[in-house]
Structure 1
């Protein structure tokens, strides 16, 4: 299962890479730090899953990517993993088509289970 990471903070990106490596059948196809790079990586790699942080470099937003995916590649499962875990932001992301919204601070550990579930459905 191809996974694309969209995270601008290198230590978190490393942690995500390590976590994805523990999921049978899952592997990172690309990493991006901003929306334009993420969209290009999606087009080039056709991932099954995109994990998106909402607050990216230079004030850009992961919402841009989420909207693009829903319009152009709705088959991709999007998981939002963010520190912006306000109820309204969670609701907005889910309404825009995110499969899952996780708070980095309190729900990070749920990410592996979600990826295992997605990988088993694809197998």
Structure 2
């Protein structure tokens, strides 16, 4: 299994650190960077010397929005998996995120296990992350 190079966009330091610790413990994953606002995330992700396989994005950030990050990344080259992890994963927000290029949307409050499973499938080489147990 390869290490899944992951970038985290989350404004809460507590949530970010807990998410990193949980993912790195449970999945062959390496967090290569993080941001707490839209402009920092877009700047890091646009730099050719930075690379990752997966970006996990919260919707509401310190400044800006995860929706802006999604829009900026939707046609990235090489393609990167985009996952939204938010407390506001309403049906309308899920639809908007998918329209903007998100591969998956998970609710922070009750779908963390689904996120972990998705990341594990990606790390195992399932490019779509749609192996058994995929959420949608």
- Structure-1-length-normalised TM-score: 0.90
The CA deviation at 1:45 is: 1.9
Where in structure 2 are the equivalents of 1:1-20 lying within 5 Å?
A: 1-20=4-23
2:103 is the counterpart of 1:99:
yes
Please name the residue that 2:69 is paired with: 65
Range 64-73 or range 6-15, more displaced: 64-73
Query: What whole-Å deviation, never above 9, does each CA across 1:63-117 have from its counterpart, x for those lacking one?
Result: 0000000133461000100011111110111122111100111112211111001
Q: Size of the alignment, in residue pairs? A: 121
Range 60-69 or range 37-46, more displaced: 37-46
Greater helix proportion = 1
- Structure-2-length-normalised TM-score: 0.82
Query: What whole-Å deviation, never above 9, does each CA across 1:22-55 have from its counterpart, x for those lacking one?
Result: 212x100001001111122222421100000000
Please name the residue that 2:55 is paired with: 50
* Cα root mean square deviation, aligned: 1.7
Residues 74 and 63 of structure 1, relative CA distance in 2, 3 Å threshold: farther
2:79 is the counterpart of 1:75:
yes
From 98, 101, 115, the equivalent of 1:111 is: 115
Distance 1:5 1:111 in 2: 13
Structure 2 alignment gaps of length 5 or more: 128-136
After superposing on structure 2, the runs of 4+ consecutive aligned residues of structure 1 that deviate more than 4 Å are: none
